[in-house]
Amino acid sequence: MMPICPICDIEYSKTRWNQIYCSIKCKRKSRNVNSVLNCVICGTKFNNLGHSTTCSIECSKQDRIEWKKKRLADQNGYSRTPEAKAKRKILESSPEFKERHRISSRLRSQRPEVKAKMKKSLQERSAQCKLEVFSHYSKEISDSDVPICACCKYDDIRFLTLDHIDGRKHLPKKEQKLKSFGLWSHIKKIGLPEGYQILCFNCNIAKSTSKFCPHEIDRMEDEIRKEMKKSKL
């Protein structure tokens, strides 16, 4: 059953669990009238001041518990009326609301406890994303989920980095500027494409300064020596 407004005796749909009036006008009238209502929990009559449906704090807590149970039992869940949703949408789209929200968010983010929580959350997400991306590009070399350098096989993730095999020149300008967590999350978002490899910082710097890493040069020289030995035999 829909509740009835005690001022105008009109049925209405609730937008809040503790609403007892159909509109703000009726709520203002109730403050002046000081009507006597029956408690929705125990049925006791009490002097209503326009902001309660229960006679005491205990009844108010019980009323909220029963409202939560009713909300969970409803298959469609609790939803506000279309009129309330439309009003909320108009309010959120106003410049004043956006400015207040921006200022409150900025002030909240400046609190020391919030800063520490945000920093910890960012570090955890960054570490998880790095492990997932690096493990994917190291599977062909290591045959496991342990990230390793594709050149020297170094396996300490703290000293590993993501390398563009063909360089950054052919990439869009926005992607060229991405680094660390921004790059890892972007790679993960687009589906971990080919064209990337895992290198340690030493091999990555050596590759950027010259065409080949010293490890690769040593391996090529060893192969040349082996071939020369075979040809002599």
What is the SS3 string spanning 10-41? CECCCCCCCCCCCCHHHHHHHHHHCCEEECCC
| Structural domain boundaries enclosing 152 | 118-224
- Summarize the confidence of residues 153-165 as an average pLDDT: 89
Total domains present in the chain: 2
Q: For residue 86, tell me if it sits in a domain.
A: no
* Residue 193 falls inside a structural domain: yes
Whether residue 3 sits in one domain with residue 61: yes
Mean pLDDT within 138-162 = 86
- Asked if residue 229 belongs to a domain, the reply is no
Question: Residue 41: inside a domain, yes or no?
Answer: yes
Q: Which amino acid is present at 171?
A: L
Whole-number pLDDT of residue 128: 92
Evaluate whether 196 touches 203 at the Cβ level (below 8 Å). no
The per-residue pLDDT for range 19-73, each reduced to its tens digit, is 777 887 777 666 655 667 788 888 888 776 655 677 888 888 888 888 777 766 6
Query: Using one digit for the tens of pLDDT, what is the confidence trace for 183-220?
Result: 899 888 888 888 888 999 999 888 888 877 888 888 88
Sort strands 196-200 and 160-164 into parallel, antiparallel or unpaired: antiparallel
Q: What pLDDT digit, counting tens, does each position of 81-111 carry?
A: 677 678 878 888 888 888 888 888 888 888 8
On whether residue 55 sits in a domain, the answer given is yes
Average pLDDT over residues 135-146: 83
Residues 210 and 124 in one domain: yes
Residue listed under structure tokens 């971990």: 192
Question: pTM surpassing 0.75?
Answer: no
Q: Are residues 124 and 58 part of one domain?
A: no
Q: Which of 80, 106, 128 is the last residue of a domain?
A: 80
Closest to 179 measured CA to CA, from 161, 194, 196, 200 = 161
Query: Residue 75 above 60 pLDDT?
Result: no
75 three-state secondary structure:
coil
Residue 195 lies in a domain: yes
Q: Are residues 38 and 131 in the same domain?
A: no
Average pLDDT of the segment spanning 212-231:
83
Question: Could you tell me if 75 and 136 lie in one domain?
Answer: no
The CA distance from 111 to 202, in Å, is 39
Q: What is the pLDDT at residue 180?
A: 86
Backbone angles phi, psi at 155, to 5 degrees: -120, 15
Q: With respect to residue 52, please indicate whether it lies within any of the assigned structural domains.
A: yes
**In this structure, are residues 151 and 200 in contact, taking their beta carbons and an 8 Å threshold?**
yes
The pLDDT score that the predictor gives to residue 29 is 62
Q: Inform me whether the pLDDT recorded for 79 exceeds 60.
A: no
Residue 56 placed within a domain:
yes
